[in-house]
A and B are shown apart, each in its own frame.
Chain A
Amino acid sequence: MSKLDLDPGVVAACRQAATRIAEQVAEQIAGRTTLSVERSVTRLLGVDGANALEVPLPNVLVDHVHERGGLGRGIAYWLGNAMIQTTSSPQQLAEAVSAGELDLLALQEAEEPAIHERVTSECAARLREIAQRFDERRAMRERLGDGAAPLRYVLTATGDVYEDVVHARAVAEGGGDIVAVIRSTAQSLLDYVPYGPTTEGYGGTFATQANFRIMREAMDEWSEQHGRYVRLSSFCSGLCMSEIAAMGAWEGFDNMVNDALYGILYRDINIVRGLIDQRISRMINGYFGVVINTGEDNYLRTADAIEAAPSVTASQFINHQLALDSGVPDSQIGLGDAFEIDVPVKNGLLYEWAQAQLTRELFPDCPVKYMPPTRHMDGNLFRTHAADTLFNLVTIATGQGIQTIGVPTEGIFTPHIHDRVLGLQNVGYVFNAAHDLGEEIEFKRGGIIQTRAQQVLAGAHELLERIAQTGLFGAIEDATFGDVSRKQDEGRGIEGIVSTEPGYFNPFVELMREASYA
């Protein structure tokens, strides 16, 4: 039942507009693949490792085919053919190409149906292998018990994976349900995923498959010892978002931030590149039951939280539809929202409450990820701690799915180990003390909260109708989100977009489209 007295007609109109917008996006990105999508295919096929120059083998392989003008058919075609001609595995093929012993395009070409069949059966086998790991993980999660919503999502960001393990243990002990290792800030612009364990990074730790494995092992060990399952999350973002999804699949990551728009707006990644990568990235996450988180909260860090609220809601509608179109079900779509109204704003708490409740009512089956105040947190850590208390109250009272916990030292440096624990303790007090508050509350008809929510929804509707006219790309160019403008034919990674040729195929897309494993 709606506490906000929302007009169902307006809500339906928003969904219809979002559907039209998503259809346009699908048309605009059709007929193309990207270097990183093709690298994801090799990663899902089990290709791993790096050459002597530390170039990852998925890059070596895909670049090899791209330089020879063959990528328009898809990397799967060439690997399938080579598997027939040489009986080597994809990993062995990658190693041979890297050693300069094999030219995939110089091999005799088998009949197309035979190639399809060979590589598709290989892909299906790898999907089953990964799915089995997720089965085991699901069993472990059920045996040990998953936390109750709102799940407490905590970041670590030391730059050194072994220090991250220490921080992760401390936040698990403090009640954290999901640990996310922030990536080193430069990583989103790298057109490859670094290889091996890393101990140096700034603002975060490099997402590498080895680092994923180290964190996973440490958290599984902690979970077994303490009888409570701790989830892990990373970031499908930047120029390698689909590859990170593939790596996360192999290592059993439970959640993933997955939003191309963040990279497009804030890292100047080309729109088309970002959205192609996102489609495949979300498809992989969706297939294995991974919960994705979108990044609407970020707009409020660069745009005003009161004025920009409708753009957040509009983006949630669009992101929701794009995720559904990639095969991600509602139960895995963690849309983003944030508590970013400046603390001195009169009745700011009521506006936050309205927005948070609005998101819940519009997407009741989605585990919405609610983000803490950051933009106006200025170094007075006691004030930040107080603001976080209000944030925690809104989180529990509106029943958010996932909460990124607020930390007192927000905005000063990457928070220290005890800062995160203090943040978790605050969450613990409030979630407990106001546990069933949401059930007890109704809002005054026509009062500040209802009126605000209805205004934001109306604003979102207007915006969505406009975007349905201009298209999402046009809207981004008009600085609709976060006050940032990006053009369709500019941005990083644009050179990594490849037009597909007749006969292109990506067997994983075919297989994952047919049925969700999860």
Chain B
Amino acid sequence: MPREVDHRAVRPYADHLGDGLVQMSFTLPVPYSLAARKAALELAAKMGFQEPEVIHYEQLTEGYTYFVMYGRCVQSVDFDALQGEGFDIEYMTEDEIERFAEEHLGRNVVVVGASTGSDTHSVGIDAMLNLKGYHGHHGLEGYRFFKTYNLGSQVPNSVLLAKAIEVGADAILVSQTVTQQNLHVQNLTELVEMVEAEGRRGDMILACGGPRVSNELAKELGYDAGFSKGTEPHHLATFIVRELAARVAATG
């Protein structure tokens, strides 16, 4: 008899249900030695893993040792409680988005985007905005009902906001691709503060994206939405037109 998954208490699955096995790797700044191995085991135990095992360890350079480990996670989460929150969005296709925009908005949606701060990578914002798009889906520039401005990379938040105000943007998109030491959080927060200081927060949708951005993080920082890895341009477009339509409906 196959066992039923208990969604009220789920834990990692590796070989069979409930085993809780987690793979992890890290480096400790200690010399490669038996003591180093013990340190890794003890650390994993302190993290709460049962039966931690070091399956590989090696010296990176003098005084630094790298570990690959397994451990059994005994914690669990209540998946049923999370499912009610309804963050699984049904995305529209490009055609559906165009029809939706025509029907509910009847005008161009103006979007300004940039990769901000010290981030030199424009790959994320280009994938969302440029005609070529991503994974065979056009970027927003290719939609009839979108007017887009892609400011590129290393754009100061102040420049991005000034442009958004100048062109009467409906939405600002911020991309943070490769960042260090959580600089992206600081950068994203600064923009929200600036938009609020200008008294424009209510006029614009603020969205951000990047491999280390999540919807939860974005909302916590004061954005309307955050888009992570795997986002395609029509996902973003769906969100923008729906959100704008909702705002139009709300203000009558």
Contacts and interface: CB of A to CB of B under 8 A. Distances in A.
A203 B64 contact: no
Contact of B64 (A378, A412, A414, A417): A417
Interface string B173-189: 00001111101000000
A505 interface: no
Interface in B21-56: 25-27
B222 interface: no
A202 B211 CA distance: 17
B235 interface: no
Interface string A154-184: 0001010000001001101110000000001
Interface string A402-438: 0000000001111011100100000000000000000
A379 interface: yes
A302 B27 CA distance: 34
Interface in A91-111: none
Contact of B118 (A185, A375, A416): A185
Interface residues of A, number: 32
B173 to A, nearest CB: 17
Given A186-B118, A302-B126, A379-B229, A413 B61 contact: no
A169 B27 CA distance: 15
A185 to B, nearest CB: 4
A473 interface: no
B147 interface: no
Tell me if B's interface is mostly helix, strand, loop or mixed.
loop
A417 B60 contact: yes
Contacts of B25: 418
B230 interface: yes
B212 interface: yes
Contacts, number: 77
Tell me if A's interface is mostly helix, strand, loop or mixed.
loop
B123 A185 contact: no
B64 to A, nearest CB: 6
B154 A185 contact: yes
Nearest to A415: B178
B118 A203 contact: yes
B144 interface: no
A266 interface: yes
User: Which residue, of B61, B62, B153, has the highest number of chain A Cβ atoms within 10 A?
Assistant: B61
Contacts of A268: 152
Interface in B126-182: 126, 130, 132, 152-154, 177-181
A70 to B, nearest CB: 34
Interface in B186-245: 211-212, 229-230
A133 interface: no
B118 A378 contact: no
Contact of B180 (A159, A375, A378): A159
Given A203-B180, A421-B66, A185 B60 contact: no
Given A412-B211, A414-B180, A417-B64, A301 B229 contact: no
Given A185-B119, A302-B122, A202 B183 contact: yes
Contact of B212 (A172, A174, A412): A412
User: Which residue, of B60, B126, B153, B211, has the highest number of chain A Cβ atoms within 10 A?
Assistant: B60
Contacts of B212: 412-413
A267 B64 contact: no
20 contacts: A159-B181, A172-B61, A184-B118, A185-B118, A185-B154, A186-B118, A202-B181, A203-B120, A266-B120, A266-B122, A266-B153, A302-B123, A378-B211, A379-B229, A411-B177, A411-B178, A412-B212, A413-B180, A414-B180, A417-B64
